[in-house]
Amino acid sequence: MEFKIAVLPGDGIGPEISEQGVAVMTAVCEKFGHKVTYDYAICGADAIDKVGDPFPEETFHTCLHADAVLFSAVGDPKYDNDPTAKVRPEQGLLAMRKKLGLYANIRPVETFDCLIHKSPLKDELVRGADFICIRELTGGMYFGEKYQDNDKAYDTNFYSRPEIERILRIGYEYARRRHKHLTVIDKANILASSRLWRQIAKEMAPQYPDVLTDFMYVDNASMRMLQEPRFFDVMVTENTFGDILTDEGSCITGSMGLLPSASTGDHTPVFEPIHGSWPQAKGQDIANPLAQILSVAMLFEYFGLEAEGRLIRKAVSASLDANVRTPEIQVEGGAKYGTKEVGAWIVRFIESSNDISN
C-alpha cells in the first residue's frame, strides 16, 4: 500500500512520542513493502503561538488529503491557568473532530500482565480485562447549544437519530468481531437523549441476533467497571459519558501510558494515544512512546493490515518483557530507558524480525 500520513505532533511530550511513532511506521512499511510519506502540520498551543489558531485551515487540509492522521497530544498549562484565554489548545482537538467528521472514538482497554501490579484494582479482578469503549465524538454536550452569563449557563445534550444509529452500528460491528456482547450505556431514567438512544438500540438489536445487547445506566457502569471489568466486551455511549468512562477504564489496567485510540468517521481517520501532553516532562526524554506506537498498530489494522499490527504489538510486548521500559513502568532496580531508546529498541525488533506473516 501507499500511505500518505499527516503527522500532528502538537504540544508537550507530543513531538517526542510522535518521532517514535513515525520511526515505527517507517520500519513496518519497509518490512512489508509499503510506501509511506509524511506531511507535518501544527496544532494545539504550538499553533496558537505560531498562527493564533489551534487547528489552522492548512492543518485541516493536510489532514483531509492524507490517508490517516498520526496525532500526538495538545495542551499547555499556560492556557489551563488562564480562565480568560479566548483560544485554547483543546479547541483545536474539537475542531479536528468536527471538521473531519470523526464521530466514532474507539478506545480499547487492554491489560498487560506485566503491568497489572500498577492497577489500583486487585490483581484477580483486573487480570484478563479486555474491552473496547466506543465513544460518540461529535455530538452531545460538547457540541450542543451553549449559553453562559454571570447567573446562568447551560450546555445542550442534543442527539439526532442518524447520529445515534451510525455509532450503534459501529458498536454492533465491533461486538460481532469480538465476543458478541454490546453494552449500551446511558442515563435513560433521567435524560431524554438517553431514552432516544435506548429506543433506537432496541429497534436495531434484532438486526444483530448473534450479539447480546444489554443496557446499563452510566453510574452503574462506572461501578461495574471497578467491580467486574471482565463483564464488558464492547460498550457504546455518548460523548460526555464516554469521556469519563474511558479515563476510568484506562487507569484500571495500570497502563494508561500504553493505551492507543482511533477516531473514525466521514473523512481521514486519526490515531492517537489516549494520554495528554504531560507538559512537565517535555524535552526530558522520559515519556512512554508505547501508546503512540500502539496507535500505529491500530492504523495498520484499520486498513486491514493485520500482520503489520501484530508485529508492532509483538515488538511492544517484547520490549516490556525485556524490561526496556520508561521510568514510570520500570520494575524496581531496573534500568530506566528514555523515550528514544524504547522507540529504537522496538524499531530494531521490527527490522530484525524475519517472520512477517507471524
Identity of residue 196: L
Nearest residue relative to ligand IPM (C-beta): 90
Q: Does 136 bind Mn ion (CB under 5 A)?
A: no
Is residue 219 annotated as a catalytic residue, yes or no? yes
* Binding region for Mn ion (CB under 5 A) out of 29-37, 128-136, 213-221, 238-246: 238-246
Which residue bears the cell 507535518? 40
CA–CA gap between residue 197 and residue 202 (Å, rounded): 9
Q: Segment 223-282, which members bind ligand IPM (CB under 6 A)?
A: 243
Closer to Mn ion by CB, 214 or 247: give it.
Answer: 247
For residue 55, which phi and psi values (nearest 5 degrees)?
A: -145, 75
Instruction: Kindly state the number of chain residues that form the binding site for ligand IPM, as judged by CB under 6 A.
Output: 3
Is residue 50 annotated as a catalytic residue, yes or no? no
Residues 165, 166, 167, 169: is their CA dihedral positive or negative?
positive
| Helix 306-321 vs helix 339-352: crossing angle, to nearest 10 | 130
CA–CA gap between residue 229 and residue 128 (Å, rounded): 9
The least CB distance from residue 7 to ligand IPM, in Å, is 18
Q: Percent helix, strand, coil in the chain (nearest 5)?
A: 50, 20, 35
Helix (H) or strand (E) holding 135: strand 130-136
Is residue 243 annotated as a catalytic residue, yes or no? yes
Closer to ligand IPM by CB, 76 or 341: give it.
Answer: 76
Is residue 53 annotated as a catalytic residue, yes or no? no
The least CB distance from residue 86 to ligand IPM, in Å, is 17
Q: What is the number of other CB atoms lying within 10 angstroms of the CB of residue 333?
A: 6
Which entry of 79, 103, 142, 208 is annotated as an active-site residue? 142
Which entry of 46, 53, 186, 243 is annotated as an active-site residue? 243
Which residue bears the cell 486498513? 303
Which grid cell is 153?
449557563
Q: Does 19 bind ligand IPM (CB under 6 A)?
A: no
CA–CA gap between residue 322 and residue 29 (Å, rounded): 24
Q: Contact with ligand IPM (CB under 6 A): which of 93, 281, 291, 311?
A: 93
Which entry of 247, 266, 321, 336 is annotated as an active-site residue? 247
Residues taking part in catalysis: 142, 187, 219, 243, 247
- State the residues that interact with Mn ion by CB under 5 A: 243
- State the residues that interact with ligand IPM by CB under 6 A: 90, 93, 243
